[in-house]
Structure 1
Amino acid sequence: MSDFLKQRPGAPQGFFAAEAAGLAWLAAPRAVPVVEVLEEGEDHLRLERLESVRPSPEDARAFGGRLAHLHDAGAEGFGASPSDTSWFGPLDSPFELPTTAREDFATFWAQDRLEPLARRASPQLGADGSAAVSRAIDAIAGGAFDGVSGQGREDASRVHGDLWSGNLMWTDAGGTLIDPSAHGGHRLEDLALLTMFGAPHIDAILAGYEAAHPMPTGWREDLPAHLFFALLAHVVLFGGGYGAESVRVAEQITERARDLTT
């Protein structure tokens, strides 16, 4: 088996250990293929080398079903991490995340994830943009998105946590997970991130997911609330046009919350 060396001299303490633990945690339910860790060090991971293939709609649909089964494996609580530390962001500039397990999604998402990022992003958002983001966070904190389309309340799912299309590799084994920010979260977190930059055959992925785990009508309108963390993280990390996009999404979240609670 050939390998791939992922390395960063001077990496934050626990960074690669967290990734290794996250990959093992995602692999444990045997629901979705996950890249294998061959060796772990303080400044590197040696991983199985994956060979990419072109996915078909059937591959995408199968991955959607497998992802639903992974989420159903569950987690200790919202924000719970399989390691002592948790990280998000690119290899050269990740930031650390809380690992406190919360009983409800609203507290975890608003207090532990969104509010710290909103403070850091505020200079790039401006006064009006920051106010719009604050209103959206308040709507999330109020519990509008604890369920799906306002129905019930979700238990914590086992989520990848950074599942944009670049962290989903298509191999002979099917859609394979790499580079997670694994934690207990809301299942719509992963689905929202898959739509962020357009995963291949995204409609087939979502159809496969719904076949394995039926969703209520209108569930896709909830996705902006679950994409919000990644957007604000992009404002902090990369700036640029992500600020305007975050404000636009904030307004969508506030409007959706109003529809769900009236």
Structure 2
Amino acid sequence: MTGPAAGPGEAAAATARLTGRRVRAVRPWGAGLALVELAGGAQLVAKRGTGPGATAAEAAGLRWLADTAAVRVPAIHGSDEQWLVLERITEGGPTVRGAERLGRELAALHAAGAPHFGSPPPGGPSDAWIGRAPMRDEPGREWPAWYAEHRVLPYLRGAVDAGAVGPGEGGVVEEVCRRLPELAGPPLPPARLHGDLWNGNVLWGEDGGPWLIDPAAHGGHRETDLAMLELFGCPHLDRVLAAYDEAAPLPPGRPQRVALHQLFPLLVHATLFGAPYGRRALTAARTALRG
């Protein structure tokens, strides 16, 4: 979750106000991000929120993930309605051992559970964000109905409105939604999800182990986080999945359901980035129908 460009002066002022520490230097560090050096040399990351409620949602999500002690996330040094000040993670590189650790840690995170599918983190707003797209966290009891109503169909409408999916092309996605009860596989309890677990939101620390950043945390289906990792690639993905399956065996048929779980993030990308992702979403829908 990153927002508008973080001007150095604004980032410095926000960090000083939220931490009570004197700022020595600031430099831009990507969209909506600034690397802030405090007096004494410690470094923090200042993030400007995407929109209303974004920093509150991310802060609540980070705390909810951290509460499990299953995964590592950056510590929060301060937040308000516009800014989030976080620990800076010093990066190394991915390793096989780190990938296996990621698989085991995701299994433990998911096992921590959630009250319902769609439950927001405690204290977090229901109107949250995934990347730069609004995301509504509305609790539901049955995953197929909840996934169709609150994850797939809203972004199909957004993709059509954005011209990324043609007006006559969405029928295949709607057919997936109608058939979700038979396509979803064995029912599972709500898992505690990172919610936006693409490769860019996994940092590999100096020890080679994983850190998770930028969550869109909510209660969901545990296969969704894994499908997100597969969507844009992840180092040593085979070891991640093998370690996960060893720690918490997945229901039979998961590979055939990957496209079903990727349909949501692909439609989100279609609303934000246009027709190339719209075409990928339609392909994923056809794949999901073939099972």
Settle same-fold status: TM greater than 0.5: yes
For the pair 1:131 / 2:171, whether they are aligned, the reply is yes
Q: Secondary structure at the match of 1:126?
A: coil
- 1:25 — aligned with what? 64
- 1:172 — aligned with what? 206
Q: Which runs of 4+ in 1 moved over 6 A?
A: none
Distance 2:182 2:220 in 1: 14
- 1:259 — aligned with what? none
- 1:102 — aligned with what? 140
Say whether the 8 Å CA contact 1:85–1:96 is kept in structure 2. Answer: no
Distance 2:79 2:68 in 1: 21
CA-based RMSD: 1.5
Post-superposition offset of 1:28: 0.4
| Residue among 239, 264, 278 paired with 1:243 | 278
Larger Rg: 2
Give a deviation string over 1:7-31, Cα, whole Å, max 9, x none: 24xx532210110000000110100
Post-superposition offset of 1:198: 0.4
Deviates more, 1:127-136 or 1:171-180: 127-136
For the pair 1:84 / 2:125, whether they are aligned, the reply is yes
Distance 2:102 2:164 in 1: 37
Post-superposition offset of 1:88: 3.1
For the pair 1:196 / 2:231, whether they are aligned, the reply is yes
For the pair 1:181 / 2:181, whether they are aligned, the reply is no
Post-superposition offset of 1:205: 0.5
TM-score, with structure 2 as normaliser: 0.80
| Residue among 95, 98, 111 paired with 1:72 | 111
Amino acid at match of 2:173: V
| Residue among 209, 228, 232 paired with 2:263 | 228
Distance 2:164 2:247 in 1: 41
Identity of aligned residues (%): 36
Say whether the 8 Å CA contact 1:15–1:85 is kept in structure 2. Answer: no
Say whether the 8 Å CA contact 1:50–1:171 is kept in structure 2. Answer: yes
Gaps of 5+ in 1: 257-262
Give a deviation string over 1:164-197, Cα, whole Å, max 9, x none: 0000111136211100000000001100000111
Gaps of 5+ in 2: 1-41
Amino acid at match of 2:193: V
- 1:50 — aligned with what? 89
Q: Secondary structure at the match of 1:228?
A: helix
Q: Secondary structure at the match of 1:227?
A: helix
Distance 2:197 2:241 in 1: 14
TM-score, with structure 1 as normaliser: 0.89
For the pair 1:40 / 2:79, whether they are aligned, the reply is yes
Aligned pairs, number: 245
Deviates more, 1:215-224 or 1:234-243: 215-224
For the pair 1:59 / 2:98, whether they are aligned, the reply is yes
Amino acid at match of 2:195: G
